Amino acid sequence: MNPAPTSNPSLSARFVLGQSWPIMLANAAAPIVGLVDTLVVGRLVGTTALAGIGLGAVIYGVVYWGFGFLRMSTAGLAAQDDGAGDVAAVQGHILRAVPLGILIGLLVFALQLPLLAGAFNIFTASPDLEAEAATYIRARLWGLPATLGTIALMGWFVGISRSGLALRLQIVLNLVNIVLSPLFVIGFGAGLYGVGLASAVAEWAGFAVGLVLMRWEFARRGGLQPGVLTRDNLLRADQLRRLGIANSNIFIRTMALTLGFNFFGNAAASEGELFMASNHIHMQLVTMAALVLDAFAHTAEAVTGAAYGAKDRKRFDRAVSLTTRFSAGFALLIGALIWLGGPWLVDLLSADEAVRATARAYMPFAALAPVVGFAAYQIDGIFIGTTRTAEMRNAGLMAVALYIGAHYLLYPMMGPAGIWTAFLFYYAVRALTLAIYYPRITRHLDANTA
């Protein structure tokens, strides 16, 4: 079998859209596990359990997003070597990243008791609520090694421009969870633990399918390359150093990003129940917008990374232009939809007239979020694809510091509007602080263009 072409299809608008729509669907499917868990618990277990799963999901999410570097570093490294036509290196990246994800998952599982104790010192709640949350988290942790291995696989599929495989994996994971969650609760009477365990089993099912898809992709590209699975190759010092540096920098950047969003959430909560309730509605809209716009950022990771690895400045510029134009266009469309349709959605989601009035008053800020924020998502994708992770780390730290400073400047003058204005400013400075470093990428390409 002859190796399939690695990463140089015709770079067109049709190709970019073709790579992006499966990612949109996969992104939209990702939260379904939590949604199904919430539905089953809310309908069949009870209110305390429902509150417990909410707290448990927040704590588990910190772990999930904290190790998201496995997706981003794998996507960037694979995209570059795919563009360079180095099939063995592309295979080596996923064969290092998946075991790393499993090892991290096993370590967190082994240390769950002290980690949970520490988490409940930060996310304080009543003893009953903490007990319910701990029950759910302990069940979910059985699937964490598979979850982190799957994150690496998803990044690899995106990095080599095979986003359809990522969608297939996500579909299987969700179907298994949809079947098992009510079965474990109704059929086995396992309660909240059963809900979490069903999600864990679904994660292992998705991971198994991902490994099969990875093997198929290996075969499509000529099979496993000679020497890839040897100890000397998998433990190559230069490749492990490359992976370690990328992962540590992205981890710091992710923690800074998490701090920024948590700060916004705490600021909204400080305004009281009414503002917080309306803000929750707004954030559902902002989150859905992010899921769509992230698709173009993920595609940017693949196509800019491949061009960077191929040392092709012309192709790199076209990749940046195409993905950014799609992202900007969809951001304007989504912003307009939120502006026009947001009030209708508010009436649908809340029967409280005070909440409705507050949500409508601040809806323009939610509509502006994708318009202001698309550049942040997009430039993130470019820097992930080119693995300029030190710059991402530095920019992430600068952006969150500027955001917190802006909040304390604007909030006393503007009140609740200042909370949103500072948050939109945060989106802007996330893009601007990275844009400062963008010429380093183009200078590197100019100096190395074949």
Helix axes 163-182, 273-309, angle to 10 degrees: 140
| Mean pLDDT, rounded, for 254-263 | 87
pLDDT in tens, 7-17: 456 788 889 98
Handedness of CA 199, 200, 201, 206 (dihedral sign): positive
- H or E element: which one contains 46? none
pLDDT for the residue numbered 3:
41
In the chain, where are the structural domains located?
11-235, 251-450
For residue 6, give the 3-state DSSP assignment: coil
pLDDT for the residue numbered 151:
94
Closest CA to 304 of 314, 292, 291, 290: 314
**Are the beta carbons of 335 and 108 closer than 8 angstroms?**
no
What mean pLDDT, rounded, does the chain reach? 87
Q: For residue 5, what pLDDT band results from cuts at 50, 70 and 90?
A: very low
- pLDDT at residue 43 above 80? no
| Mean pLDDT, rounded, for 72-78 | 92
pLDDT for the residue numbered 414:
92
Q: For residue 418, what pLDDT band results from cuts at 50, 70 and 90?
A: very high
Q: Tell me the CB-side half-sphere exposure of residue 245, using CA atoms within 13 A.
A: 12
| CA-to-CA dists, residue 177 to 33, 184, 212, 429, angstroms | 7, 10, 19, 39
pLDDT for the residue numbered 31:
66
Closest CA to 383 of 319, 300, 289: 300
| CA-to-CA dists, residue 391 to 257, 258, 380, 424, 431, angstroms | 14, 18, 10, 22, 12
- pLDDT at residue 238 above 80? yes
| Mean pLDDT, rounded, for 121-125 | 73
Radius of gyration of the chain (CA): 22
pLDDT in tens, 148-169: 999 999 999 999 999 899 999 9
**Are the beta carbons of 166 and 225 closer than 8 angstroms?**
no
Q: How far apart are CA 170 and CA 212, in angstroms?
A: 14
- pLDDT at residue 1 above 70? no
| Mean pLDDT, rounded, for 427-436 | 96
Amino acid 87 reads V
pLDDT in tens, 296-342: 999 999 999 999 999 999 999 999 999 999 999 999 999 999 999 88
Amino acid 394 reads N
